[in-house]
Structure 1
Amino acid sequence: MSKAFVKENDHQEDDDFPEIPALPAGTKNYMTVQGYRSLRAELVHLLNKERPDMVQVVSWAASNGDRSENGDYLYGKKRLREIDRRIRFLTKRLELAEVVDPGLQPNKDQVFFGATVLYSDKVGEEFRVTIVGVDEAEPLQGKISWVSPVARALIKSHEGDTVVLRTPAGIDELDVLEVSYPEPAPPADPDGSSPI
């Protein structure tokens, strides 16, 4: 049967795939050692486990005959496109990564990349955030991108400082209550490989 009749397109883009976070023009892709390791582990898992498993499923499903109504085949092809897109994204981002170990920061009383900051807003509500790379950001877990408005307001401040946060909703003042950094990353993983 012709591909024209089965609505199958190997090059179609899936609209439901999450948007890739953009880096501001002219900036580096800063990343913590832990963030780099996490993305690298995801890439290795996709290359060595998930993709080969999905290729096997698609191959098995294709051998079952009519592909136009074969759910395993259609889903498998879609999932392979998603995996391949994620592999390309991770490969590119890891190549561009500028890995920073926040534990080596000499000015531990000042806010820089990788710092964990406890601050309060003008109504007294306290927040604890860690300033991380764009690809590591998880705002609901307190990990904010270094290019976010809150991080930009906090960077270079010291404990006890009050900084101004400009948002579309107006101006807020943030009181920096505490600044801390993690311990330096170990020089090598337990398996003897380098940390990055």
Structure 2
Amino acid sequence: MSKAFSKESEGADDDDAPSLPSLPAGAKNYITPAGYARLRDELLDLIDNERPRIVDVVHWAASNGDRSENGDYLYGKKRLREIDRRIRFLTKRLEIAEVVDPSLHAGSDQIFFGARVTYLDDQGAERTVTIMGIDETDSRDSQVSWVSPVARALLRARVGDEVQLPTPGGLRTLEVVDVKYPPPAQKLAG
């Protein structure tokens, strides 16, 4: 059989997928309940709404005849591949996700997953970060992944502790000033 007709490797279409940081070997995929809900909602929206809508567009465009110059058909097929890639990614990540509720540590002065930490660096600059899961961090909201160097340096420290942060420019000292957790969710009486 000609090589032109052989199937390429299984992961070939994932090469242009957005690359999020991978989990360290043997590490769990920690995620907050809100982060898990956001990813699950995105997955369900892709499956229930976005994909069927694009399938309808592709079906309509294919019925118009010549597909080689049909922009709706070509764009639709490309968008379907993107959606399917994202569905596979979300499905895999949600399957291995370990939901951790940071509110269980409310009132603690020790840093665990989900903590909002204020610290001073060795140059006197005060920063506040929230330690989150890999799949839910947003640097615009001062969220850092629990596997990031700053989070790894801060984890398990307490208010008043000084920790060492290795950087390319050498060791930096961070002093923990404050630790906060979200309040426990209120249970509704049934």
Shorter-chain TM-score bucket reads 0.7 to 0.9
Alignment of 1:1-196 (within 5 A): 13=13, 16-105=16-105, 108-185=108-185
Change (3 A) 1:55 1:103: same
How far 1:127 sits from its partner (Å)?
Answer: 1.2
Counterpart contact for 2:107–2:181, Cα < 8 Å:
no
TM-score (structure 2 length as normaliser): 0.88
Counterpart contact for 1:32–1:102, Cα < 8 Å:
yes
Deviations 1:68-107 (A, max 9, x none): 1111111111110110111111111111111000001267
Structure 2: stretches of 5+ with no match in the other structure: 5-10
How far 1:184 sits from its partner (Å)?
Answer: 2.2
Change (3 A) 1:187 1:133: farther
How far 1:53 sits from its partner (Å)?
Answer: 0.7
- The ranges of structure 1 where at least 4 consecutive aligned residues each deviate by more than 4 angstroms after the TM superposition are none
Counterpart in the other structure of 2:8? none
* Partners of 1:82 and 1:42 in 2: CA distance: 14
Structure 1: stretches of 5+ with no match in the other structure: 5-10
The total of aligned residue pairs comes to 180
**What letter is aligned with 1:62?**
A
Deviations 1:143-196 (A, max 9, x none): 1110000000000111111110001221111111110000124568xxx9xxxx
* Partners of 1:14 and 1:74 in 2: CA distance: 19
Higher helix share: 2
Counterpart contact for 1:101–1:185, Cα < 8 Å:
no
TM-score (structure 1 length as normaliser): 0.85
* Partners of 1:90 and 1:171 in 2: CA distance: 36
* Partners of 1:47 and 1:187 in 2: CA distance: 31
